[in-house]
C-alpha cells in the first residue's frame, strides 16, 4: 500500500471539537432521495475533503449546511446550535460566520474586484464604501492578487485570478468556517497547486476550518486532514486519507488506487520526501 508510510504531518490547529455536526440528514427532490440519515462532523481547524461519485450529493450537502437548501429532515448543529430549529435572524447571525466559494466564483460581472468584495462589507458589516473598499483591497492581497487587480472586472481576469478574487470575497467578513465547492475546477495544474497551497496557508494563518468539496486528488493529498466519502445517500467513511484509501469499497478503490489516485499519491510522497530533505 503506497499510502501507509506517507501521512502528512498532522495540523496542530485541528481539535476533536466539532464545529458542525450533521445528524440524520435527509434531502430529497421529489422521489429522488439524495441523503438519508447522513451523519458527518467537521472538526475545528481541519480541512475536510468531501468526495464521492457524481450526483452523490456533495453540493447539496454543502448547500444544506450553509442554508441554501432546506433538508427534508435531520439536524445541522453549528457551534452547538441547530440551524434548522433557529429563527431566520438567529440563523443569519450564524451564517455570517461562514465564507462560501461557489463553483464558478459567482462574482458580480458589472463590479470591479474591490467593489465585489466590498458588497458583503457594506451590506452585512455596515461599513461605508471607502472603508469597505480599503478592506477589500487587503482581502485581495491576502489571496495573492496584486494591487492593480482591485480595479479590474471579472471578465478581464484569468480563471485563477477569478478564483482568488472569489476567495477574497468569501473571506470578506472574517469567517470561521470556509466552504469551498470544487475550488480547483477549471484551473491548470500549476494554478491548481498554487490554489491548494493558498488554502492551507490561509487556514494556518487565519485559524479557519475548511469544508472542501472536490474531485481533485492532488487537492486531497496536499490539503486535507480528513476525507469524507459520500456513497449511497450516506457518508461511507470519514477519516485520514490512508484509512479512507484502505476502505473496501469499489468506488473508493477505483478512485484512490486507480491510475490517477496512484499518481497523486506518488507525487505527494515525492513532495513530502523533498520537504523532509530540505528541513
**Footprint of ligand ATP on this chain (CB under 6 A)?**
29, 34, 52, 54-60
If the CB atoms of residues 59 and 223 are measured against ligand ATP, the closer one turns out to be 59
Q: How far is the CB of 137 from ligand ATP (least distance, A)?
A: 33
Write down the residue that cell numbers 463553483 correspond to.
103
Q: Give residues with Cβ within 8 angstroms of 67, minimum separation 6.
A: 83, 91, 95
What is the closest distance, in whole angstroms, from the C-beta atom of residue 251 to ligand ATP in the complex? 12
Looking at the Cβ atoms of 104 and 119, the one nearer to ligand ATP is 104
Residue number with CB closer to ligand ATP (9 or 54): 54
Smaller CB distance to ligand ATP: residue 215 or 271?
215
Task: Report helix angle 129-142 to 113-123, nearest 10.
Answer: 120
Q: What sign results for the dihedral spanned by CA atoms 100, 103, 105, 110?
A: negative
Give the span between the Cα atoms of 97 and 78, in whole angstroms: 10
Least Å distance between CB 180 and ligand ATP?
13
State how far the Cα of 225 lies from the Cα of 50, in Å rounded to an integer.
11
Place of cell 437548501: 69
34/202 with CB nearer ligand ATP = 34
Least gap, CB of 54 to ligand ATP (angstroms): 3
**How far apart are the C-alpha atoms of 249 and 237, rounded to whole Å?**
10
| Minimum distance from residue 230 beta carbon to ligand ATP (Å) | 7
CB of 129 to ligand ATP, least distance (A): 35
- Packing angle, helices 129-142 and 159-170, rounded to 10: 120
> Which one, 153 or 251, has the nearer CB to ligand ATP?
251
Q: Which helix (H) or strand (E) holds 228?
A: strand 226-231
Amino acid at each position: 500500500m503506497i499510502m501507509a508510510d506517507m501521512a502528512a504531518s498532522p495540523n496542530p490547529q485541528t481539535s476533536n471539537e466539532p464545529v458542525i455536526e450533521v445528524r440524520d440528514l435527509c434531502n430529497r427532490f421529489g422521489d429522488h432521495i439524495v441523503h438519508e440519515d447522513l451523519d458527518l462532523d467537521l472538526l475545528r481547524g481541519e480541512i475536510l475533503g468531501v468526495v464521492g461519485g457524481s450526483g452523490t450529493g456533495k453540493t447539496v450537502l454543502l448547500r444544506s449546511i450553509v442554508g441554501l437548501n432546506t433538508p427534508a429532515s435531520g439536524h445541522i448543529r453549528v457551534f452547538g446550535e441547530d440551524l434548522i430549529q433557529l429563527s431566520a435572524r438567529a440563523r443569519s447571525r450564524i451564517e455570517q460566520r461562514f465564507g462560501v466559494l461557489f463553483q464558478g466564483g459567482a462574482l458580480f460581472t458589472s463590479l470591479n474586484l474591490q467593489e465585489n468584495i466590498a458588497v458583503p462589507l457594506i451590506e452585512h458589516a455596515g461599513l461605508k464604501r471607502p472603508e469597505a473598499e480599503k478592506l477589500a483591497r487587503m482581502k485581495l492581497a491576502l489571496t495573492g492578487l496584486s494591487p492593480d487587480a482591485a480595479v479590474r472586472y471579472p471578465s478581464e481576469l484569468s480563471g485563477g485570478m477569478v478564483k482568488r478574487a472569489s476567495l477574497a470575497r468569501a473571506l470578506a467578513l472574517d469567517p470561521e468556517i470556509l466552504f469551498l465547492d470544487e475550488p480547483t475546477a477549471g484551473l491548470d495544474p500549476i494554478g491548481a497547486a498554487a490554489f491548494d497551497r493558498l488554502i492551507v496557508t490561509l487556514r494556518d494563518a487565519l485559524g479557519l476550518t475548511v469544508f472542501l468539496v472536490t474531485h481533485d486528488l492532488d487537492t486531497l493529498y496536499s490539503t486535507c486532514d480528513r476525507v469524507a466519502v459520500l456513497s449511497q445517500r450516506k457518508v461511507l467513511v470519514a477519516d485520514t486519507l490512508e484509512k479512507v484509501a484502505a476502505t473496501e469499497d469499489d468506488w473508493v478503490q477505483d478512485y484512490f488506487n486507480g491510475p490517477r489516485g496512484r499518481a497523486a499519491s506518488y507525487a505527494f510522497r515525492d513532495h513530502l520526501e523533498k520537504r523532509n530533505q530540505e528541513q
